[in-house]
Copies of this chain bind each other. A is one copy, B any other.
Amino acid sequence: MNIDSKPYKWQPREQSLGYMINWAARLFAREMDDALRPFGLMSGQLPVFFALADGKPLAQRDLVQLAAVEQSTMAKTLARMERDGLIQRTPDPKDRRSAFISLSPLAEERLPDIAAAVAAINARSHAALAGEDSAHLLELLRRVINGLTDAA
């Protein structure tokens, strides 16, 4: 037994999954923000672009699902994107609570550059990994995510 000076030994932070994942996420977000700033958008808006890039309008509720964020988070993200002229809302005639959301012409114009910037960062991060490790990392993350979402 060790009853001396250090009462609680935490794992060193490099061995804490939570710490490392948080760190990686912040680095990613920062890279994305840097790369996307010239085009007037930020990392939190990417899932919306992902979802609307094919031209099919979606309701806010669908975007919530796809981005896996809370409804209120998406509401604010969309408000900012609308403020910045990146999306448009057209009322749903069948349900007056809801609206169809689509990319604005401005946003569509910028899509190629945005896609290129995102691809570049993904490439950079994959470069740090050996080829098949990329797939492995994704698989491990998927398992962690499942573990954390299932057991509510």
Contact = CB atoms under 8 A, between A and B. Distances in A.
Interface residues of A, number: 64
A53 B10 contact: yes
Contacts of A26: 25, 69
Number of copies: 2
A79 interface: no
A21 B28 contact: yes
Interface stretch (A11-19, A83-91, A93-101): A11-19
A148 interface: yes
B136 A148 contact: no
Given A22-B29, A137-B141, 5 more contacts: A5-B55, A7-B54, A10-B118, A20-B138, A124-B147
